Homo-oligomer: A and B are copies of this chain.
């Protein structure tokens, strides 16, 4: 099977997308996910443009990547600078990666009107930069920006630019449809010509301005391209980069190529959801392959046929990309999910027991209210316990009050929470403060419980996320809070939903504490209130 190399550029080109931004922590997290999934190259950032990107290159060196090479991105040297004194090129070396990608101009108009250099100078800039980076031991990917527009405009010169890169020792030549407007058949024809003319591996880099970036990338592979650049979930400038979540399964399942391999492909859905989670974006339900609706059947006729034979209305098996079939009109589909999830969480349920249906009904009700349990296994476990009547609360809330106060324009904003609980007949009444109202509430809750359940001190919150569910109704909107907690040994997620962000946070905090206490009770019997 033909191996196609995948380069993900979420951390560089993807960040050009409107509303897309990532902290270094987020970038490191995403890089580890991409490595685990098995992409060949991860473009980590623009070495020269941004100190944050340089930090990323430093920090990623301490992580042991299993599958991916990190790529630093830059441009050909500036026209005026001798190569040894070009700051951008020096920054590229400073990034200290084994692989670098540099882009150069292929479109005559861009050379003369945007860069404002002569055509000959541009060729020298390309050759110099590639040669210099090769002399410094780098694997050099040459990105021919605007290649297709350049080719259509001045074929001879576009060719000359990649010849300059190839002659200087580039390891691969990537044809970029930078403006994203080239049609699939044009991509096929031009790429075929280039593949035939060069001995080097040819790559493809597409944008989705015409809505054809997936097709364009696949057509390039059909024409002989061996490397595909893109972004998981298709983030990127304007209409986005080519979506690797579309391209990888097409290559693997339909075009006889191998990329990450069929086994890892089953992790595609999980990866796609996790990337959106990091970017705090809503996962696109309608997305091919990985969307929640991608294998959802609504029309009665279709559901009937799919029940008889899935291939009647599905182009692939959802499991091949880790997705699931969903039947929208009937709840039949969910029963086995519940069962699988319950087993996974160590809750015993029988397939035929009415509890399975009860859990499903409760789940559907809650999901309709905005709850989401994929990242909240802790809350799901409590839900199952409640349905099985195995749940016993560890404390009762008598009340809380959160006060946020600001006493002048430049004064700091103070947060204080008081809380009153009843724990096995005894009252705990405490006060906490914090940088914000939720931290204050969390502190007060911990104080209240620590006398009764000292192990609460081991629990650290490692993640706190807020999603406004219906932003269009503005401050009236429902809020979903997701919290991740750990006690050093185990981690669990919990969820809360309310129109009031404090109340939603409270729900998730209470679930977090209860999960810990419940788990300890099951394991050691050591969580009952201290005074018992």
Contact = CB atoms under 8 A, between A and B. Distances in A.
Given A179-B314, A413-B500, 16 more contacts: A16-B298, A16-B299, A25-B472, A49-B332, A183-B254, A208-B288, A211-B289, A212-B212, A212-B246, A212-B250, A399-B407, A400-B406, A404-B503, A435-B476, A438-B475, A466-B468
Interface in A297-348: 297-299, 302, 304-305, 308-309, 311-316, 328, 330-332
B185 A219 contact: yes
A406 B110 CA distance: 63
Given A288-B210, A399-B408, A219 B184 contact: yes
A401 interface: yes
7 A-B pairs with the lowest CB-CB distances in the bound complex, closest first: A181-B315, A215-B215, A461-B474, A211-B246, A435-B499, A436-B500, A439-B475
Contacts of A55: none
Interface of A: 15-19, 21, 23, 25, 49-50, 109-110, 113-114, 178-181, 183-185, 188, 208-212, 214-216, 218-219, 222, 234, 237-240, 243, 246-247, 250, 254-255, 280, 282, 285-289, 291-299, 302, 304-305, 308-309, 311-316, 328, 330-332, 372, 374-375, 396-409, 411, 413, 415, 434-439, 442, 460-472, 474-477, 479, 483-484, 498-503, 505-506
B501 A210 contact: no
Nearest to A372: B21
A420 B26 CA distance: 40
Given A113-B308, A501-B436, A464 B475 contact: yes
Contacts of A501: 436-438, 466, 501
A476 to B, nearest CB: 6
A49 B294 CA distance: 24
Instruction: Report the copy number of this chain in the oligomer.
Output: 2
A465 B462 contact: no
A316 to B, nearest CB: 7
Given A181-B254, A288-B239, A476-B439, A18 B403 contact: no
B309 A109 contact: yes
Contacts of A479: 436, 466
26 contacts: A18-B293, A113-B312, A114-B305, A183-B254, A184-B219, A185-B219, A185-B222, A211-B246, A214-B215, A237-B302, A240-B286, A396-B409, A399-B407, A399-B411, A401-B403, A404-B500, A413-B503, A436-B499, A437-B501, A439-B476, A439-B499, A460-B474, A461-B474, A466-B468, A474-B483, A474-B484
A464 B328 CA distance: 29
A505 B413 CA distance: 12
A246 B208 CA distance: 10
Contacts of A471: 463-465
Contacts of A243: 211
A18 B298 contact: yes
Contacts of A401: 403-406
A388 B291 CA distance: 47
A294 B239 contact: yes
